[in-house]
Each structure stands twice: as C-alpha cells, then as structure tokens.
Amino acid sequence: MDRECAQLLPPVCAVLGDSRQLVADDTFLEKFLDWFKTLTETESSLHLLQENPCLTELITCVLKLKDPSSSTLSFILRLTGIFTASESCFQYLQQRELLNSLFGEEGPLSSALWEEASVRSGWVQGVHTMTQHQSAIHFLCNCGAIDVIFTLQGDPSLFVASAANRLLVHILTFSLQSFQTKPVNIKDCDWPICAQKLIPHLEESLKSSSASRIKQSLKLLTSVFGCCHDLWTEVLWSQLSEPITYLLENEPFNAGNSLVDLFLSMARSPVFSCPECSLWKSASYALEHLNPAQAGCLSAGILKLQECPQAVRMQALSVLLQPMDCVLKAASQPLEYPGLLNNSLSDSATIETLLSCRSSCASLLCQTLAHLEELLYLTYMPVNLPHIPLLKSVVTVLQFGTGLATPASSLGSKISRILIGCFRVQRSALDILGAFSHWESHSVFMGSVSDILLAYLKSPDTSPTVLKKSFQATLKWLVRLSEAPSSRDYWLQTEQFFRDLFLVLQKRLCSHCWEIRDSALEFLTLLVKHLRDCYIFTEKEEFRQVLVSSEVPKFTEDLLEDPESYVRASAVLAMGQLSFLTHLNSKIPSTENGNGKEVKKKSIVAQLQEILVTDSEGFPRRAVISVFIDWLRDGHTDVLKDTEQFVSSVLQVVNCDLDWEVKAGGLELAEVFSAKTLGRVGLAGCPYVSVVSAATRSTQLNESLQIFYRVKLFEFLFGALCDCDRPVAQKACSILIALKAELCDENSLKEGLSAEHSFPEAHGIAWLEKTLRRWSSCAEPCPIGIANEAGSQNPNDILLVLRTIDLEGLNKSLNRSSDHIENSPQSLLQDILATVGTLEENEADCY
Amino acid sequence: MLDCGLDMTSTLNFLPLPLVQSPRLSKLPGWVLKDGSTFLDKELKECSGHVFVDSVPEFCLPETELLDLSTVDVILISNYHCMMALPYITEYTGFTGTVYATEPTVQIGRLLMEELVNFIERVPKAQSASLWKNKEVLRLLPAPLKDAVEVSTWRRCYTMPEVNSALSKIQLVGYSQKIELFGAVQVTPLSSGYALGSSNWIIQSHYEKVSYVSGSSLLTTHPQPMDQASLKNSDVLILTGLTQIPTANPDGMVGEFCSNLAMTVRNGGNVLVPCYPSGVIYDLLECLYQYIDSAGLSNVPFYFISPVANSSLEFSQIFAEWLCHNKQTKVYLPEPPFPHAELIQTNKLKHYPSIHGDFSNDFKQPCVVFTGHPSLRFGDVVHFMELWGKSSLNTVIFTEPDFSYLDALAPYQPLAMKCVYCPIDTRLNFIQVSKLLKEVQPLHVVCPDQYTQPPPTQSHRTDLMIDCQPPAMSYRRAEVLTLPFKRRYEKIEIMPELADSLVPLEIKPGISLATVSAVLHTKDNKHVLQPPPKPVQPLASKKRKRVSDDAPECKPLKPLLSGSIPMDQFVQALEKHGFSDVKVEDTAKGHIVLLQEAETLIQIEEDSTHIICDNDETLRVKLRDLVLKFLQKF
C-alpha cells in the first residue's frame, strides 16, 4: 500500500465504522474489497493488518456497534474473509477473538440482522474466502458453522442458497484434497470431520421428500464431480449411488434435469471413464426412463464424450434420432423408407404423443435439431451418424413446414398441421441443414437440399428470420461445394441452381421489407466473396456470366440509394465484392434523362466516394471505407489505375468525417497504403529481400516520402493523432510509430535532414497541433496530389515532426484507459470521504 | 335470402370486349366442329386451342328454380361483392320484399355495378350468340364450354335504371342495429372486418340464435375489425366466404406484389394490375405509399382507371365510422384516413374515368396501371393487355382471387408479358376459422361442402379444411338442409294488471307457481296474455245464459295439484280408514294399490292417479279425498 493510501485509510475506516455516517453508495464498498483482494495477492495480509491497525479497529468497532447497517456488517464479514485467507492473519484475528464474533454463534447469526439476505450472503462469502487452510476448516467444524451452511442451502434468497452450495463444494474438495490414496470404504478410513459431516447430510438430502433439497444436493454433487477428479470421488459415488438410483427409479422427472447434469459431470471425469463403472448403468437407465427432453440433453452430452461404452453411445444416439425417425416415417410409406432406427428397438409411443401435441412438438423438434447440429460440427465423432436418412428427415421437417410433405399417417397429419408456418422449427431445421454441408456431397445437394432451399427462398410466406437462415444454409452448401473437387457435370447442375437462385435473389432485393433486402445483400456479399476465391478460372467465369446475366448487379446498385441506412451499407459492401467479378460499368447502359440526353453512369468508385461524402448515416460511410480497404489490399483494378489519387481523395474526405469509426477505417486504409508503398519500393520488412545499399535505401525512402507527401498521408495521420476519440488517436499513433521505425532510423536520417534538425527535443500534442495549424494556415489551395511547393510543409518538415514528436510517450498515455485516475485506490478513498462530507453538508442544508 | 352474389366466371367463356378495334381478336378463326361443320363459326372463335363465345358477356344468376323468389321477404347483404345479382332478383322475379345492407355496402356496391354496366354498355356488340346454348349443340363443344352450368339461365348485364330500381329497395342499417322481421325474428348486422361496411348477420328469436358469417377478416386492414363477441352462444353458425386461396398468406402476397412491381419498373417495363375499383386496392395503394420511396419508384406514375375511380377514392375517405380505429383517429386530426389522398396530391397517383381523354395526354411509361375488370373480358384492362402483351418487359399482376388467372389470360395467348399471380384474399383462412370457432363455440356449424375436405389439388393438406366438434354440416349446390334445431318455445308477455293479480306459491325453495287464467292474444308473431273478461253475471232466470261465441267461457277454476304421495303414509292412512287388506305393487310408472276387499284399484303414477272401483261413488270420493290429503292445492 502506498503512502497516500496509508494516510487516507484511517479516516476512511473511521467513517466506515461510524454508524452515523452512512456510505450512501454500496459500490464504494465493493471497490474497497476489490482493492484489498488485489493488495493481499501481492502483500502479506498480516503485514497489512499490523501496518494499518485502523483495519483491525474497524472490525472491532463494527462488532461493537449496537445497530450496524446490514451493508456495513456484510462488508466487514467479506473483508475479514479476505484477510483470514492467510493462515497467519487468521491466527492474528483469532487471538483477538474476533472470528468467533464474526463467523461463530456469537456473531450476526444470533442477531436480528441475520434476517437480511445481504448479511447472510456476506457471511457465506467471508467464510468461503477464509477457507483456504486447515485452521479455517477446524474453526468451521468447531463453531457449528457447517450446520449453518446446511441451513443456508435452503435459504429463501437464491443468491445465498447458491453461494452456500458452492461453499460446501469448496469445503468438501478442500478438506479432501490431501487424500491421495484411494480409500476402500468411507467408514474404514480416516476422512476429515467436515467430509464425515457433509456426506451423511448429502445422503439424507437425497433420500428426503423435498424436491428442492434433492436438487440442491444433486447440484452440489455435480459441482464436486465437475471440479475434482481425484480418486476419492469414486468412493463418494459408491456411497451415494444407491439413493441416486432410487431417485432415478422413482422420481425421474422432478429431478431429471439435475440428474442429467450430474451424470454428464461424472461422465466427463476420468475417474468414471472405465466401461465397467456403475455410472454407465445408471446413465443407460436414465436414457430409458427420463422424459424425451431430458434424455435428449443427456444423449447429446454422452455423444460428445471421448470415453464412453459403445452400447451407451448407441443408446444415446437412438434417443436423439427417435423424434427424427418418427417425422420421417410420418411422411413416408413403410416400404418406401426404412427409417433411422431399427423398429424392434425403439418404442416411439411417448415421442409420438409429444409430436402430436402443438406445445410439445415444436420444442422437442427444436431441441433435437439443435443437439444434432452440435454433433454434426464435432470434428471427432465417436459414432457414425446416419447422415443420409438424417438429412432426409430434416428435409421432411422443412417440407412439413411449408406444406410440401405428404403425411403418410395420422401422426403425419398432426405434425403437418403443427409445423406449417412454425418459424421456430423452420429456423432450427435450416441451421442443421447448413451444418450438413460439412458432410454431404454435391449429389445430395442437388438431390433434395437444393429444392427445399429454393422453396424456402422463393416462398412469399417465409418470414424474414427464416429467410435469413435459408440464405445462411444455402451459403454454407455453396461454399462447401465450391471447395470440393467437382467434375464438369456438377458445375452444370449447379449452374441451373445459380440461375434459379439469382431469380429469387433479384426479387428479394426488391422486397418491401428492408430486413429482407438487407439479408439478400448480405448473402450476395458473402457468396461472391467466397466463390471468387474458390472457383477455378473456368467456373469463376461461368459463375460471373450467370451473375451478370441476371438483374442482381443492377438491383444491388439501385439499393445504394435505399432509404434504409443498413440496406445502403449492405449494398455498398455487396457492390464492393461484385465489382471484383463484374466490370459493371461496361454492363450498365447509359440512361436517358428527362431531356432525352444520355447520362453517363458514374463509375462505382465515384458512386462510393459520393456516399462517403454525402451520406448522412454512419453505416454506409463505414461500409464504403471497409470496401476501399479491401480494394486497396486486394489490388482492385479501379484502384490500381491511380492509387495515389484514390487514397489522397479518400483521406481528405475521411479527415472531415465526424464518425470515429470512419476515421479509424481511414487510418487502416492509410496503414495498408503505407505498407504497400514501402513494400513496392522495397522497404518492407521481408526477410528474403536482398540487402540494399545505404544509398539505394535512402533513394527509396525519399521516393516513399514523396508519395506520402503527395497524398498528404502525414497530414492525415498527425491530424488523427490529435483526435479527441482515443481509438483514432491510438491507431494513428501506432501507424506513426511503425512509419517512424521505417523512415527515421539513424542511417536514413543522415541523408534527409540538415544539421540543425539533428537533435530536436521531444514534443507533445500541443506542439503538434500548433505545427499543424501553422501548416494549414500557410497552405494554399492546390489540386490534390500536387505538392504544395509554396507551403512551409515539405517532406523534410514531415520527417522532422515525425522524429520530434514523442510518439512512445503518447502511445503510453493513450493506452491507459481514460478513467485510470478515477480508478486508483487514492481516488476511491477520497471519494468515500468526500461522499460522507457531502452527506453532512446536505444534512446541514436540511435544517 | 342470405346474400345475392353474381357468378361472373361465366364471362371467362367469352371473348374480351376491346375498347378499340383489335385486329388480333377480329382475325381469330371461327370454330369448326370435328365433322367440318361451320355453323358455329360466327358465334365461337378459337384462340390458342381455346374456344370462346364471340358475344356480349353473360352472367350466371343465383339459383331460381329451387325457390319462388317472389316469396322471399327479406334479403340480407353481407358486403358489396355479394349484391351484384340484386337487379336480377328485384327486377325479374316479382320480389316485393326488403333488402337490408349497410351504407358503404350500398354505395360501393353501386359503384361496382355502375362500373360493370359502363364497361359493357360502352362497347356495344352487334351480334348476340345464342345458338351455342342449344343443348344438342352444347354437348358437341369442347371443355370448358360443354361443362358450363345452366347456360340457359345466363343473362346479359343489367342496365343502370335496373340498378337504381334495385338499390331503391334497400333499407340502410348500421352495425349492431336490431331489426325486427315481422315479429318472428330479429336480425342484426355486425362488423365482419373484410371490407368497408361488410357485415355478418345474427338472426335470432328469443330462444334461438343463428349467425351468418360471410366474408370476414381478422387481419388489420382498413375496415372496422370483426365483431366476434356477438357471435357467441349461437345454436347454428352458417359459415361461408372463406379465403379462396388458403395457401396464400396476404402479407406474403403483398410482398410479392411489391417485389414484382419494382422489378418490372426498374427494368423499364409497365405493370398492369387488373382489379376492382374498391377493396384491396386501398390497401395496395397504402402499401405502395410506404414502399415507392424505398424502392426508388418515386418518379414512376401510378394510374387508376375506372369510370368510378374518383368516387371510389373519395368515398373511402368519408366513411370514417366504418374504418379501423387508426384510420378513424386520423379523421379527428383532421387528416385523410387513407394515404392515397397524399399520393393524389403529389401527383404520384392519377385517376381517370377511362383511357380516353386526359389519360392519353398524361400517359407516361414505365408506369403502373390499376384498372378493371379482373376477368380481363371487359373494361380498360383489355386495352392494356393488347397494348403491353407483346413485350416481356411488362408484367400483369393478378391480385383479385375471384378468377383463375390462367383462364383470364387464355384469349390473349400467345402472350410475351410476364404474369404474376399474387392473390390477396384477406378473408378468414382455416387457422383463423379454427380459432374463431373455439372462441364463439356455436352448437352447430353449417358450411359449404368444399370447406370440409382439403382442396382437390392438395389432398394431403388436411390443415386446409374445417376441423370442429361436432363435425360441420355441409351442403352442396341446390341441396335442402334442415338446420339442427327446432323452435320449441315462444316468449309470451303478461299484461301488468294480470301479473299483479297472480299469487305465486312456493312449492320448492326458489320455485314458485301460480295459476294463470288469461286470454292469449297473438298478433304479428307476438304473444300477450291479457286479463280474462269478467265473468258474466247470471240472469235472474234459472236458465243458464247461452254462452256467446265471442266471449270466452269462464268456468269456475279447479285447483291444481302438486306433490307426490308417500306410499307408506298412504297405506297407513288407508288402514286407518278401515281398509285392512291393502297391497302395494310397484310398476314401471309408479304404484298400484290393491284394496282386495273393496275390489278397488288405485293406480298412482307420476302425473295421474286413477281410482278404479265398481260404481261405488262414495268409496271413490272417500279414496279421492284420502289421496288429495297428500297433495298440495293451489
């Protein structure tokens, strides 16, 4: 603790210990505790207490108060917990008989304040923090605290009850952590007293008739098995398996979810991985007897395990597949399709009942589809999923959703009625349909997937969210197929799909619902972005032809003027990608204006620049900048024509933009440009570049500097460095540091700078702002890209500024968060005192 | 009579009536029979494999054979589409009754009729075909002509004087207004939410209630929302006028409409929307009002061409009380309830009575034209079909669900222009019907047979049919159905002075009875109990006065008996009075008490008691008095 804080602490403690001086804002106390938590991590707690006797006095003082506030008492309990986490400190306070008064029977337990949940919570948290050594464990056992914690498990405050449960987990695992040998039986060995108290308590709770007690105990066990993988956990299971099995057999539904969590927590522990372990028998029983929703969760968890008996895996898979099997059979004739499961093994009556009911059908299908989707994304899949029939069942769900499936049974008719127009299930099914793209091939796509996707994309009844999912699933399949090696035939089939897709897309681009226009543009952007990189030359050209022959590019361009800013932004991004594929300007015919004269269409670069200058909303402008960055980075032909002119004009516009994200985008553009320029002239840090002579290097430097000077790069960067938005200044600073490292190393400076500029002293922002003002006042208006010879600013001036400004210092101060002063402990202590002062003043005002 | 709609699909069998001479239509070849006979080639023309009647279009009238329409007392109209046959009924059948409808229904109905008459009368057709209707000839014709129903009853369109005469027989009613029909029943129109002034009807007596639900909508469009609460507790709910396109969701279709419209216009094409001059067009214009800016269509002109376009657009703005809440509140601001007023003000929407005159001066392309008739057989739409049909840049978008768009397009084939089918039918779909029936819970539902099974083209869609308990009673064309209830009770009023004279006697807690002697007076299906005339004073002579015919005879009142005879106590009483050999036998209806010695039987049943003894009047009276002791008299 520094000196200032040490000085401020006594009056603060005096205030906190004074019941008349209420600290109005509880967050002060929380910050105070956080500070001490940090302090005790680096300093000895005992030393802290000894050096600052006011802390011990504070504890004593609060304990002596007749009527302390609940928040102060709770604070003291937690503060003491932080100190007593150290055994020496624990002894120190124990000697002063403070701990019994705080955590023992004499303490708040027996006072009226115990009714306050905040006090009970403070007590539990204090005890939890304290329990880091055996002395604390002994203390808890001796003072009857364990029984108090048992009671708090059923506390009306959920926070307290949950904290008490966590505390018991901690006590049990902590007291048993020294157990390295495997005891045969809990009664035969010398288990710690805490554990000896806790385990019978758990056993009793599990056998009780109270559902909440059972759930708490199961939760506790779940946490124990989840966080501790020692051998004693196996003994614990052997002790408790009997009541748990009883629960499973007799009360499977009430505690079903908790049992699922417990089994999964145990199944993940290496202690229970042995196939002969009784856990698997219980898990198998649970899969059979829990309700389908609970069994589904357990199955999904089991199927993700690496170590698990194969029989249990297969059983879990059957549980997950059963609802899908029912759906599949409900829409196919018995001989037409064998189904997903072996009929003799599955009893589908329960599932059929759930699927027949409107309320349960959707939730069961959504849950099952979500679990299966997770499994499809697993890189390691321990069982073979029947992909083709499963995909068929998902397609059937989607067909039911639009009334395309023909029910083959009364169940099918019921499912059909429920699923038609059920967006929830449609969304889940489309999610998993997209996930299948990782597994399936082109023929499968063209077989059934493409039809159902097109049906959803085309249907006017598809809701905007379902449509978005349809686009996502379509994208996943198309990207996947483009990556897979395919024959010419495959492309020909896909080509027809693209033609159909673009017909749908152009209609969606004209939708009256802006969300749909936006989703369609987003899809188009991603599609072009992926496919232009994936396709080989022939296919890329054919894809381009299909795209250009549709109205999609034209309608996308129209949306640059959409009234909705999100749509304009998405249209900008889409045009950014499309322009890589299509030479739009040549495709778009000139239009006639009202006077019958031909108006030449603006180039896409000019259109986007105009948006950057004129659009009143931030999103489209940010989108333009991000497109420009991509163009510059990827070498777009329109940019390559005159990169300097392009960059210069963009930076000039961005410099005047009030949106910090646009400016940050501009800085990224500047960074890419500078890196490209330095790379082009051979100055980039490529390790394989041959070493150049000092003279050549100097020439190259000058060349780069001239380019930067012409595009007014440094003017922009220095301006951004002075920006009041910290991220902008930070970014500018890091770019300038990088440029300085390239341009201002000792050797390179020799050539460029005159003697009087050699050792300038470091300057800060104020000096920079002054310099920039001087530059701008001297500069005459001149065409972009032409150096202003008359101005006082020249490349050498720039270098001088770059070298002179204290970029490292600026960077350091910018990297500190803006509230670093307010967050300091001194500030906190001062605030506490000031608040009390204010309260007093207000009190005086009242009278 | 519930509604009076006109089947206009018959017009699809006729050639379109072009506004200007159409070389294409006039050059169509005459139809020749398989055997080479050409006697029909003047009446029937062939176009792309379809045969059409080259004559003034005719309409299929409501069923007239089943019932003598002159005996119909009242016609209840649900909405303006369901009154288009009214002139045929009121002017040709001897009908003398009253027609009830709301004001917007009548006004807009008048516009629809006026438009129809105008469309047909302004293009007089020299020839009238009738030969093809001959039964012998008809069977030789190709489908669909040979399958046409009741062609002999098809009639030409009515005239404006007939329309005016028919409309003069309508009595205007307001929502929830109770109208007494001859004292027999009361009818009440309720808002049905489908169109301006559209109604469902409640027909009720004091003890029975029949609801007639026709053309209703639960969607939030321009009309006042549907009144569902008043339909509760119906004995019978007659359900008709459901959506014709149950698979087309109106929201989705509006989206399709907008997208296709924008796509066409952006490509430099024109859009033709065949429509009625009122109804969905208001919602479409409202939707376009919000959409045209976002779709970059601000400079595209929208034309609404109909002889009644102006009246329709203006009427819609003045029927404030018949509009939905949002639109009603606008009126108080005051603002026009429909945004088409602003479209007209800003010149984005222009309306014309026909393509002649101002329109030809203002006409600019690309544009969007709303015009009738949706059958594409008459009206200005015929001209635009001829004008734009050859270019694939143009699109015709069908929004009205009444006509099959493929049949409507048949005489225009081959057609290059794009055709889009976006039927917007806001009437109830089956999901909404299911919810409605759950909500109002009628005892019985009666509906057309088509609603009780999935559509023939989608037999697997069991969700597209009425599913209710008990199953709906269905009916087919010309089928006579007995509604599943009987009128058992009539309400009778008691005059106050008679009521005053009653002395109720409580026979059970909460149940009191009183005997009433009165005269039942029935007139106009109203029944009233009036006090009986005072008893006539006996004349001095001993001879009884002859009862006159007009004054009812007034006999001295016998007391009424009530209660049941407890057998044990009755037997004890008999024994007490000296009957020693009493035997009691139980029968299905009560008991038989045998007095063997006296050779007497007492049959005691729920509602009668017989004492059977052998001419011993004293014994009978004695026994009677014993029985009466156990009964209450009043």
Range of the domain at B572: 561-633
Count of H-run helices and E-run strands, chain A: 45, 2
pTM exceeds 0.95, yes or no: no
Establish if B4 belongs to a structural domain.
Answer: yes
Chain B interface includes A550 (CB < 8 A): no
Q: Which residues of B touch A571 (CB under 8 A)?
A: none
Q: Which of B254, B260, B294 comes nearest A564 by C-beta?
A: B294
Cβ partners under 8 Å of residue A487, min gap 6: none
Chain A closest-CA separation from residue B403 CA (Å): 21
Residue A269 scores a pLDDT above 90: no
Contact A510 B266 (CB under 8 A): yes
Domain check: are B12 and B127 in the same one? yes
Q: Cα–Cα distance between A750 and A753 in angstroms, integer?
A: 6
Handedness of CA A27, A28, A32, A33 (dihedral sign): negative
Q: pLDDT by residue (tens digit) across B597-623?
A: 878 889 998 888 899 888 888 888 889
Cβ pair B102, B82 in contact under 8 A? no
Q: Say which CATH number the domain at B292 has.
A: 3.40.50.10890
ipTM field: 0.75
Q: Which residue of B has its CA nearest to A592?
A: B268
Q: pLDDT by residue (tens digit) across A290-330?
A: 888 889 999 999 998 888 888 899 999 999 999 999 999 88
pLDDT at A386: 86
Domain check: are B137 and B13 in the same one? yes
pLDDT at A597: 46
- Phi/psi for B527 (5° steps) reads -115, 130
Q: pLDDT by residue (tens digit) across B546-578?
A: 544 555 555 666 777 878 888 889 998 988 888
Q: Say which CATH number the domain at B598 has.
A: 3.30.310
Q: How many domains does chain B have?
A: 4
Domain check: are B201 and B117 in the same one? no
Strands B632-633 and B561-562: antiparallel
Omega of the bond prior to B470 within 30 degrees of 0, cis? yes
Domain end, chosen from B394, B421, B448, is at B421
Q: Which residues pair with residue B52 across a beta bridge? A: B45
Mean pLDDT, residues A728-739 taken together:
90
Residue B233 scores a pLDDT above 80: yes
Establish if B543 belongs to a structural domain.
Answer: no
Domain check: are B447 and B568 in the same one? no
Mean pLDDT, residues B247-263 taken together:
92
Least confident of A273-282, B344-353, B531-540: B531-540
Cβ partners under 8 Å of residue A783, min gap 6: none
Q: Which of B247, B258, B463 comes nearest A417 by C-beta?
A: B463
Domain end, chosen from B173, B189, B221, is at B173
Q: Which residue of B has its CA nearest to A418?
A: B463
Domain end, chosen from B140, B173, B206, is at B173
Cβ pair B332, B283 in contact under 8 A? no
Q: Which amino acid does the sequence have at B578? A: G
Omega of the bond prior to B366 within 30 degrees of 0, cis? yes
Contact B263 A564 (CB under 8 A): no
Chain A interface includes B293 (CB < 8 A): yes
Establish if B377 belongs to a structural domain.
Answer: yes
Instruction: Give the rounded percent of residues in chain A with a pLDDT score beyond 90.
Output: 29
Residue A745 scores a pLDDT above 80: no
Q: Which residues of A touch B294 (CB under 8 A)?
A: 512, 514, 562-564
At A57 the three-state DSSP class reads helix
Q: Which residues of B touch A592 (CB under 8 A)?
A: none
Chain A interface includes B365 (CB < 8 A): no
Q: Which residues pair with residue A599 across a beta bridge? A: A591
Establish if B260 belongs to a structural domain.
Answer: yes
Q: Cα–Cα distance between B92 and B95 in angstroms, integer?
A: 8
Q: Which residues of B touch A516 (CB under 8 A)?
A: 255
Contact B458 A403 (CB under 8 A): yes
Q: Cα–Cα distance between B602 and B593 in angstroms, integer?
A: 5
For B302, the enclosing helix (H) or strand (E) is: strand B302-305
Q: Which residues of B touch A508 (CB under 8 A)?
A: 259
Inter-axis angle of helices A310-330 and A358-377, to 10 degrees?
130
* Pick from A254, A250, A314: nearest CA to A284: A314
What confidence tier does A601 reach under pLDDT thresholds 50, 70, 90?
Answer: low
Establish if B38 belongs to a structural domain.
Answer: yes
* Pick from A439, A541, A520: nearest CA to A475: A520
Mean pLDDT, residues B91-115 taken together:
95
pLDDT at B46: 92
Q: Which of B256, B287, B462 comes nearest A460 by C-beta?
A: B256
Establish if B507 belongs to a structural domain.
Answer: no
Domain check: are B33 and B142 in the same one? yes
Report the C-alpha dihedral over residues A216, A218, A224, A229, rounded to 10 degrees. Answer: -170
Chains A and B form CB pairs within 8 A to the count of: 71
Mean pLDDT, residues B460-481 taken together:
90
Instruction: Give the rounded percent of residues in chain B with a pLDDT score beyond 90.
Output: 59
Q: Which amino acid does the sequence have at B271? A: V
Residue B228 scores a pLDDT above 60: yes
Q: pLDDT by residue (tens digit) across A558-586?
A: 999 998 999 999 999 999 999 988 654 44
Residue A674 scores a pLDDT above 70: yes
Q: Which residue has the tokens 């960077």?
A: A811
pLDDT at A785: 40
Mean pLDDT, residues B142-170 taken together:
92
Cβ pair B142, B45 in contact under 8 A? no
What tokens does A10 get?
């006594």
Domain check: are B364 and B273 in the same one? yes
Contact B460 A506 (CB under 8 A): no
Cβ partners under 8 Å of residue A50, min gap 6: A92
What confidence tier does A779 reach under pLDDT thresholds 50, 70, 90?
Answer: low
Greatest CA separation for chain A: 103
Cβ pair A573, A611 in contact under 8 A? no
Q: pLDDT by residue (tens digit) across A136-189?
A: 888 888 888 888 899 898 889 999 999 999 999 998 888 887 655 555 555 556
Domain check: are B185 and B324 in the same one? no
What confidence tier does A719 reach under pLDDT thresholds 50, 70, 90?
Answer: confident
Q: Which residues of B touch A561 (CB under 8 A)?
A: 296
Q: Which residue has the higher pLDDT, A574 or B41?
A: A574
Chain B interface includes A568 (CB < 8 A): no
Mean pLDDT, residues A787-814 taken together:
70
Domain check: are B228 and B283 in the same one? no
pLDDT at A598: 47
Establish if B511 belongs to a structural domain.
Answer: no
Cβ pair A458, A504 in contact under 8 A? yes
Residue A57 scores a pLDDT above 70: yes
Mean pLDDT, residues A521-538 taken together:
83
Chain B closest-CA separation from residue A411 CA (Å): 12
pLDDT at A759: 47
pLDDT at A731: 92
Residue B542 scores a pLDDT above 60: no
Q: Which residues of A touch B300 (CB under 8 A)?
A: none
Chain A interface includes B176 (CB < 8 A): no
pLDDT at A594: 43
Domain check: are B218 and B291 in the same one? no
- CB atoms closer than 10 angstroms to residue B8: 22
Mean pLDDT, residues A83-89 taken together:
89
Domain check: are B211 and B107 in the same one? no
At B494 the three-state DSSP class reads strand
Chain B interface includes A406 (CB < 8 A): yes
Chain A interface includes B463 (CB < 8 A): yes
Count of H-run helices and E-run strands, chain B: 17, 29
Domain check: are B187 and B237 in the same one? yes
Q: Which residues of B touch A507 (CB under 8 A)?
A: 256, 259-260, 263
Cβ pair A154, A213 in contact under 8 A? yes
A595-632 exposure pattern, b = at least 16 Cβ within 10 A, e = fewer: eeeeeebeebbebbbebbeebeebbbbbbbbbbbbbbb
Domain check: are B261 and B380 in the same one? yes
Chain A interface includes B460 (CB < 8 A): yes
Q: Which residue of B has its CA nearest to A462?
A: B252
Residue A367 scores a pLDDT above 90: yes
Cβ partners under 8 Å of residue A75, min gap 6: A16, A29, A32, A33, A122
Establish if B526 belongs to a structural domain.
Answer: no
Mean pLDDT, residues A657-682 taken together:
88
Omega of the bond prior to A781 within 30 degrees of 0, cis? no
Q: What angle do CA B15, B16, B21 make, to 5 degrees?
A: 110
pLDDT at A754: 46
Contact A510 B253 (CB under 8 A): no
Q: pLDDT by residue (tens digit) across A45-56?
A: 888 888 888 888
